[in-house]
Amino acid sequence: MAIVAVVFHSASGTTEKLADSVMSGAASLKGVDVLKVEIFGSDIVEGRYQNQDVLDSLDSVDAIIFGSPTYMGSVSAQFKAFADATGDKWSEKAWSDKIAGGFTIGSNLSGDQLMTTQYFQIFANQHGMIWASLDIPGGCDPEGRNRLGAQSGLIAHSKDNILNKIDLVTAKYLGLRIAKLAIRYSINEI
Ligand SMILES: Cc1cc2nc3c(=O)[nH]c(=O)nc-3n(C[C@H](O)[C@H](O)[C@H](O)COP(=O)(O)O)c2cc1C
C-alpha cells in the first residue's frame, strides 16, 4: 500500500476543489491510500504553525502533493507558516526520498502562479524529496489538459471562484501520476 498525502491551504475553496480532484486521481489507483491535510489558520499562533500531529502524520507517507492559492506571486502566508514549521523534519531527513508535486490557482491568467510551483519544488528539494513534474505537454494534449502549459506542476485559473473543468481533469491526472510514482518508489510494504 502506498500513501499519498495532499497538503494544501485554501481560503475561499478553489484550491480545495483542486485538492479533491488530485486526491480522486490518486485514490483511483489500486493499492493507494490518500490523506487529506488542510492547513488551517487556527493552527498558526503568533505566526508559527503549531500542529505537530499533522507534521508527524506525513512521516509515513510515500508522496506529498502541495497546494496553495497564489498570493502576491507565491504561496499563501498560511502555507509558508506550515513550511517553516518543518525545520525539524528537514534536519532529521524525515521526508527524504518521498515523491513530491504541487498545484496552485490564481485569479489572473498570468498571475505569477509559476512562482508558487517553483516554491513548492524548492521546498521539496530542501527536504530531499523527488520532484514529479506534470508530464502533459501544454498545448499538445488531445483532451486539452494542462491548458495553461506549466510543466513544473498544475497551474489553474479562475476569476470567479468557479473551477475550469479542464483544470479539475488535469488535477486528477496529477494525482494519478504521483500515485503511480509513489507505488513505484513505495517505502511501505505493498
Ligand atoms: C491576498 C491575495 C493575493 C493574491 N495574489 C494573487 C496573485 O499574485 N496572482 C493571482 O493570479 N491571483 C492572486 N490572488 C487570487 C487568488 O489566488 C485566487 O482567488 C484563488 O482562487 C484563491 O484560492 P482559494 O479559493 O483556495 O483561497 C490573490 C488573492 C488574495 C486574497
Report helix, strand or coil for 19: helix
* Spans in the chain with pLDDT lower than 50: 190
Distance 107 CA to ligand 1 centre (A): 6
Q: Residue 162 contacts by C-beta under 8 Å, 6 or more apart in sequence?
A: none
Question: Which residue, among 128, 123, 126, has the nearest Cα to 153 in the 3D structure?
Answer: 123
Pocket of ligand 1 (CB under 6 A): 10-15, 69-73, 105-108, 111-113, 158
Distance 127 CA to ligand 1 centre (A): 26
Q: What is the pLDDT of residue 188?
A: 57
Tell me the C-alpha distance between 161 and 70, whole Å.
Answer: 13
Tell me the C-alpha distance between 58 and 6, whole Å.
Answer: 10
Q: What is the pLDDT of residue 187?
A: 62
pTM score > 0.95 for this model?
yes
Distance 77 CA to ligand 1 centre (A): 12
The C-alpha cell of 74 is what? Answer: 507565491
Q: What is the pLDDT of residue 181?
A: 98
pLDDT digits (tens, 9 = 90+) for 123-162: 999 999 999 999 999 999 999 999 999 999 999 999 999 9
